[in-house]
Amino acid sequence: MTPAAIASRPRSAPPAAACDAHSHVFGPFDRFPPLRPSTYALPDASPRVHAAVRETLGVSRGVLVQPAPYANDPSALLGALTGSSGALKGVAVATNDVSDATLEQWRAAGIVGLRFTEMRTPGGNRYPGSVGFDALELLAPRLRALGMHAQLWAAAATFARTLPALARLGVPLVLDHMAMPDAARGVDDPAFVAILELFREVPIWIKLVVCRVSKRPPDYPDAQPFHDACVAAAPDRCLWGSDWPYVRMEPAPDAGHLLDLFYEWTPDARVRHSILVDNPERLYGFGGTG
């Protein structure tokens, strides 16, 4: 186990009810050990540490995404949600044989979506514990019935090829990490252009999580054109996320600096409020019944 990344306090205080729409918790490991061998060092990122990071950022709400080492067992995620007094929502992982009763219990506990992954490890293999897009096609009717969304992680070229069919499933789609464009190809890359065209027209959401797109930390200038293009295309369906605690990233980003960059790159206060507060409230159901 390694220490989780420390966040600095951002220069500008986020508005009340701001949301970090993409982060993770691990453990406590004495209660919630991983189910699968991890491809990275497990961080000390318990709900207690996560809450301290959110307090430093000034972000009162958060969305926790199931890490691959927990596979399709969301016990650690559910533990964090239970102790959050409604401040957190969750995105879990499930295979197509999950029961209706289990999905209903998860939904009632604050799990609002399922994650499907087509990204591969540096060796080209599927991350242990992840579930592919084929499972989404089978689970879509049940997600629709429960009002849950599908969170997708894939390379931009994979998204450009698969999104038209996935969008027809009638489930809101949330794309991780700005749809994982290739920074070297720029915003005119045909794959990214195709994603933006769909983003403008259908109920797709994009997470403005920049650190896994860029090769140029700590200011990530090669990611800004993609950020700006997403915000220009559909600001009412953009979400901001930190990706804390930054597994497989050396050096680890600073979540406070990432929030500062978001403010610099998004100068319109109304758009910032929409992305930080209104959009996650609408998608995830904060302040509502689920």
- As a dihedral over the C-alpha atoms of residue 257, residue 261, residue 263, residue 266, rounded to 10 degrees, the angle is -160
Beta bridge partners of 3: 44
| Mean pLDDT, residues 145-171 | 97
| Mean pLDDT, residues 74-96 | 96
57 contact partners, CB below 8 Å, separation of at least 6: 7, 9, 10, 14, 20, 242, 255, 256, 259
What's the confidence (pLDDT) of residue 273?
A: 98
What's the confidence (pLDDT) of residue 127?
A: 75
Q: Residue type at 131?
A: V
Q: What is the CA radius of gyration of the chain?
A: 17
pLDDT of residue 92 exceeding 50, the answer is yes
pLDDT of residue 126 exceeding 80, the answer is no
pLDDT of residue 259 exceeding 50, the answer is yes
* Residue written as token pair 């080492």: 69
What's the confidence (pLDDT) of residue 289?
A: 36
Rounded to whole angstroms, how far apart are CA atoms 240 and 206?
Answer: 9
% of the chain exceeding 70 in pLDDT: 99
Question: Peptide bond before 245: cis, by omega within 30 degrees of 0?
Answer: yes
pLDDT of residue 290 exceeding 70, the answer is no
- Which residues participate in catalysis according to the annotation? 243
| Mean pLDDT, residues 6-33 | 96
| Mean pLDDT, residues 160-187 | 97
Rounded to whole angstroms, how far apart are CA atoms 231 and 254?
Answer: 22
Q: Is 156 helix (H, G, I), strand (E, B) or coil?
A: helix
Delineate the domains of the chain, giving CATH numbers in brackets.
2-284 (3.20.20.140)
pLDDT of residue 258 exceeding 90, the answer is yes
